[in-house]
Structures are given as structure tokens and as C-alpha cells.
């Protein structure tokens, strides 16, 4: 599969991005300059369709969430425009050395494939038999050394792709042009609409970030998560509860 790789970072010259390069030396990624949400004025947030006025009035969306949403949306639109799948990473992720080779073997139809998710919250997938499976993780906030230990013990083959029903985090995912167009069109604006958690009738969240909003769309999209994970994040920036 032909695809392009991009890593989103706020500071390409900073220590965080230097650590990303050191931890992922086998990846060849273009640098996508991240957008600082604090630099997007209220009127611009509304005109660009990033957030609803109600969300802004209630202070329900942080500057960081606005910047994150805007940064990912730029790449989604570019993937759709160029008709090229994109591997999109955030600059705190650590990936498996075989990730790039695994992607070349992907030949099935999809909108988005996650190679890792936030492990400080729930993951719900659908088994091949149609059974909903819920996962929670002991390594909720794994430090880099622990992540490297896990990845060193991870076999990249065989790899299973499970249908994703609920999950959070955007640390490392492959999006098809069709998927990118659907997500960019339907996920915005970020809003207070209630998003149910699949299989947990009483669990409701507000769609005030892009990963929360995606949970409202998973059932309608061709979304998968790779098991075992080929990408891990320390979750130190996670706001998911």
C-alpha cells in the first residue's frame, strides 16, 4: 500500500520531538506543524467550524483540544484531496520497528485503523464471532522504558484487526482518503451532543474532542484496531475520563 506518514508536533526543534525521533528511528515521517489552539480566536473557531458557540460559552473545549482537532483536520483534508492514505502520529508515541512493513501488507477496505489507543480508559471491540469484548489495561500510564519493553516482546505477525466500537486517543492511526473525507465532514464542529459508549447503556460522554466525537461514528464507519498494539503512548496528555 502506498501511503504518506506525518507526525504532528508543536515544536520541531524541541526536546519532545527529539525524543520522538530517537524512539522511532525507523520511521520516515513528514513533519506536520501542530496548531496552538490558544492562537485561534473565538470568531475564527466558529467560522472554521471547529467548535459550536455553546461549547465555547460553557468552556467545554480546552485550547489544547481545539489545536489538536485543527491539526488532525488539516491532514484529513489533505489525504482526501490527494487521494492518498496517511499514517498520522502524535509526537509522544513510540512505535514497533515493523510498523511500516505491516502497513505495506494491508489490502482490505477500511476508513481508519488504530495501531494504538489510550490505555487509561476503556476499549471495546467486536470479535469475528460478533461478540463485544471490553479491555482495560494495567499499564494505564506506561513510561517510555516500559513501552519499549512491551514492544520488544510484541510479535508483529500474526496481527489481528478487530472492529472498533469504542476507544480513545489519536496517537497512531492509518486513515484512507475515503475515511478522512467522512471524518473531516462529520466530526465537526465539536459539540455537547451526548455520545453513548457501546455496550454500556448508562455511559454517556460529550463530544468535545475529536476522539470522543469519533465514538459516535464508529458504528457507521469501517474502523479497526490492531491487536497487539504496534504503538503506545504514555497518556501523559490524555484528558479522557
Q: Which set of grid coordinates corresponds to residue 88?
A: 498520522
d(Cα 218, Cα 211) in Å, to the nearest integer? 10
d(Cα 38, Cα 32) in Å, to the nearest integer? 18
Instruction: Kindly report, residue by residue over 110-167, the tens digit of the pLDDT.
Output: 999 999 999 998 899 999 899 999 999 999 999 999 999 999 999 999 999 999 999 9
In words, the CATH class of domain 4-232 is alpha beta
Q: Which set of grid coordinates corresponds to residue 50?
A: 471547529
3-state secondary structure 177-229: HHHHHHHHHHCCCECCCEEEECCEEEEEEECCCHHHHHCCCHHHCCEEEEECC
Note whether 95 and 115 are within 8 A (CB).
Answer: yes
d(Cα 69, Cα 60) in Å, to the nearest integer? 14
Instruction: Kindly report, residue by residue over 52-106, the tens digit of the pLDDT.
Output: 999 999 999 999 999 999 999 999 999 999 999 999 999 999 999 999 999 999 9
Asked if pLDDT for residue 217 goes beyond 70, the answer is: yes
Strands (E), 10-105: 30-33, 86-90, 94-95
Other Cβ atoms closer than 10 A to 112:
26
Amino acid at each position: 500500500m502506498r501511503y504518506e506518514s506525518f507526525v504532528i508536533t508543536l515544536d520541531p526543534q524541541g526536546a519532545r520531538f527529539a525524543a520522538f525521533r530517537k524512539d522511532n528511528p525507523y520511521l520516515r515521517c513528514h513533519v506536520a506543524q501542530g496548531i496552538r489552539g490558544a492562537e485561534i480566536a473565538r470568531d475564527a473557531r466558529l467560522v472554521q467550524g471547529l467548535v459550536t458557540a455553546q461549547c465555547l460559552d460553557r468552556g467545554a473545549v480546552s485550547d489544547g483540544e481545539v489545536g489538536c482537532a485543527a491539526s488532525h483536520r488539516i491532514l484529513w483534508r489533505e489525504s482526501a484531496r490527494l487521494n492518498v492514505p496517511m499514517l498520522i502520529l502524535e509526537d509522544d508515541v513510540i512505535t514497533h520497528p515493523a510498523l511500516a512493513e505491516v502497513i505495506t501488507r494491508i489490502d482490505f477496505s477500511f476508513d481508519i485503523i488504530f495501531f494504538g489507543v489510550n490505555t487509561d480508559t476503556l476499549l471495546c471491540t467486536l470479535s469475528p464471532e460478533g461478540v463485544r469484548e471490553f479491555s482495560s489495561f494495567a499499564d494505564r500510564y506506561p513510561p517510555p522504558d516500559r513501552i519499549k519493553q512491551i514492544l520488544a516482546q510484541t510479535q508483529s505477525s500474526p496481527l489481528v484487526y478487530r472492529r472498533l466500537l469504542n476507544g480513545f486517543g489519536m496517537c497512531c492511526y492509518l486513515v484512507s482518503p475515503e475515511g478522512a473525507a467522512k471524518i473531516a465532514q462529520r466530526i465537526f464542529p465539536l459539540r455537547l451532543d451526548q455520545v453513548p459508549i457501546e455496550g454500556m447503556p448508562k455511559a454517556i460522554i460529550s463530544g468535545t474532542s475529536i476522539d470522543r466525537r469519533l465514538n459516535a461514528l464508529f458504528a457507521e464507519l469501517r474502523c479497526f484496531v490492531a491487536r497487539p498494539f504496534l504503538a503506545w503512548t504514555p497518556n501523559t496528555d490524555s484528558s479522557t475520563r
